[in-house]
Amino acid sequence: MNYYIVDAFTDNIFGGNPAGVCVIDSLIESELMQKIASENNLSETAFVYRKSLGIYDLKWFTPKSEINLCGHATLATAYVISHFVDVGIKGMEFSTLSGVLGVESDGDSLTMNFPAIMPKPIGIPEGVEIALGIKCLEAYLERDLIVIVEDESIVKELRPDYAKIAEVKEGLGIIVTSRGTSYDFVSRCFYPKLGVNEDPVTGSAHSFLAPLWGSIIGKTQLVGHQLSERGGIIKCELHEDRVNLKGRAVLYLKGELL
């Protein structure tokens, strides 16, 4: 099968978040997909199957398990489709575990239409502040645990204990976020339970972060900056129960899995 590595949410090679994209000609077992994703050892590997022009099936796997929503691997997949499979296509629909996700290409960037999911406020769970080594102001829960901290410097300088994060019961991962200085909000995302200590740029996290910060600061158009070492920018536009996430992507590798 043809295989690509694409750096998502960036204009530059070695920036953003690298995703593996496998273009499959026929459906394969999930067990094989998981083995390939484990071998690739990227935060996510996507498997895309072309059903017809503009219509595709899409699955995402971390090195340890299948996941129900992944933004950067969807962006990377749309880049591969529009550049190598259905060259020049503008509109794509992907059937996924999170329903049908639409992606529009305008040549320079890609806009994904994702569910906007408002996380629920909860008390700060036991062990979270110890795992992160910081004071948390608020906590919210959806697929991931989201904690708000005082300012951007705390997010940037954070040095968490990954083993202790994996012991926190709430959420698949932990997202640490605050208001930004140059952007509306900043974040970092940690998923040691899934075999990914820190995810460089997490599109799916912005399905939670955009509605949360939109409600806090009263905006429907926001820009998030993920403060990982590689870093990434995600433009977010809220539309009731959906959010458009916009970014760019760059091809790093094209090859074949034997």
Tokens linked to 136: 């948390």
Residue with tokens 């940037």: 156
Q: Is the separation of the CB atoms in 74 and 62 below 8 Å?
A: no
Instruction: Examine the residue annotation and report whether 44 is marked as an active-site residue of this protein.
Output: yes
3-state secondary structure at position 58: strand
Q: Specify the pairing of strand 120-122 against strand 138-141.
A: antiparallel
Options 39, 44, 138, 240, the catalytic residue: 44
What are the DSSP calls for 151-175, one per residue? -HHHHHH----HHHHHH--SSSSEE
Tokens of 52: 């017809």
Measured from the Cβ of residue 159, the count of other Cβ atoms closer than 10 Å reads: 7
Catalytic sites, residue numbers: 44
